Amino acid sequence: MVTTTTLTAEQREHFDREGYVVVRGAIDPDRYLTPLLQEYEGVLDRLARKLFAEGRISNLYDHLPFGERFVEVCAESNDTNHQCFDFSLPQSNIKHDTPMWHGPAVFDMLRCPELLDLVEDFIGPEIYSNPVQHVRIKMPESREPRDPATGTLKMGATNWHQDNGVVTPDADDTQMLTVWFPLRYAGIEHGCLQVVPKTHRRGLMAHCPAGPGGLQVPEKVASREGAVALPMEPGDVLFIDKMTLHNSLSNTSNEIRISFDLRYNPIGQPTGRGAFPGFVARSRTAPHTELHDAHEWSRMWTEARRILADQSELKPFNRWSADAPVCA
């Protein structure tokens, strides 16, 4: 049940002081999350049938509910298959047929009025949907695919990082807001997010490339002491300052953790990923500029994929190098 679509003074004070805030019951799960899960059931069914036809799995597993089916399909194919569900592109090896999903339920979620009401309280009424966005489906690590050469998990827990650290420097002055929420219950055992309060006051920290978990702020740069884990129910929304140090825990449960990781910024400010398309989600002064067409949104991403696939070399998506002294 939705309990609020505006921040309380206490919530805003908590965000300013700690660098994050969880708003409980912010969005209606039945109206927005259930259609998303139903849409992803279709994506999974098409994926399973494709892998079965290719001989990569021996069973369609269509007698199983979504979460269990996802685990079995990925475990047998030894692939996270995450790109088939994601509504962004990878940062390397983009091809003309790189899979991605830009369905209407995803688009509706990005434009959810209750969500945008809260975003407006943070960044104002001229809201741009920043293309640094993902669906995250974390398998139980006991079943997660591993790299056959190294034996390491192909996804695993997300490393400690700041969201300002994973974009290009042109967005350093952008008022970028991170919005994270689970589609199903995300407890500590499922690999929920955790944050280190007050680290948003320290400015941008050095990051180092660190394998499948993504960029990482080395512990010698920033201690993880005082980290706070944030279990969340469907409908809860976490707002994070772009400078707040955070990561995800390992999924030690027997279930998937599925969540959305979104960004919004004021219209006209750099997104930090200029090669990817964003759109005007809300404009009080020029509502005619808002994007309401899910098909057009999908077309924009298809066109971006074509352009990037035609490039012989992609420009860097962030500023960090493994050769930096701090990464030694």
Is 190 in contact with 251 (CB distance < 8 Å)? yes
Sign of CA dihedral 315, 301, 204, 160: negative
Q: What mean pLDDT comes out for the span 180-193?
A: 98
Number of CB atoms found within 10 A of residue 145's CB: 17
DSSP string covering 268-327:
TS--S-TTS--EEEEESS-GGGS---HHHHHHHHHHHHHHHHT-SSPPPSSS--TTSGGG
Sequence spans of domains, the chain? 9-28+104-311
Could you report the per-residue pLDDT of 112-142, keeping only the tens digit for each? 999 999 999 999 999 999 999 999 999 999 9
Check if CATH label 2.40.128.20 holds for domain 9-28+104-311: no
C-alpha 269/C-alpha 266 separation (Å) is: 6
Strand order across the beta sheet in which 126-138 lies: 20-23, 237-241, 177-182, 257-266, 126-138, 279-283
pLDDT tens-digit series, residues 234-291: 999 999 999 999 999 999 999 999 999 999 999 999 999 999 999 999 999 999 999 9
Pairing assessment for the beta strands 228-229 and 193-195 based on DSSP bridges? antiparallel
At 2, is the pLDDT very low, low, confident or very high (cuts 50, 70, 90)? very low
Confidence of residue 1 (pLDDT cuts 50, 70, 90): very low
Q: Worst-scoring range by mean pLDDT, 89-93, 115-119, 148-152?
A: 148-152
CA angle, 139 then 111 then 3, to 5°: 80
Give 103's pLDDT tier (boundaries 50, 70, 90).
very high
Contact 317, 273 (CB under 8 A): yes
pLDDT, position 243: 98
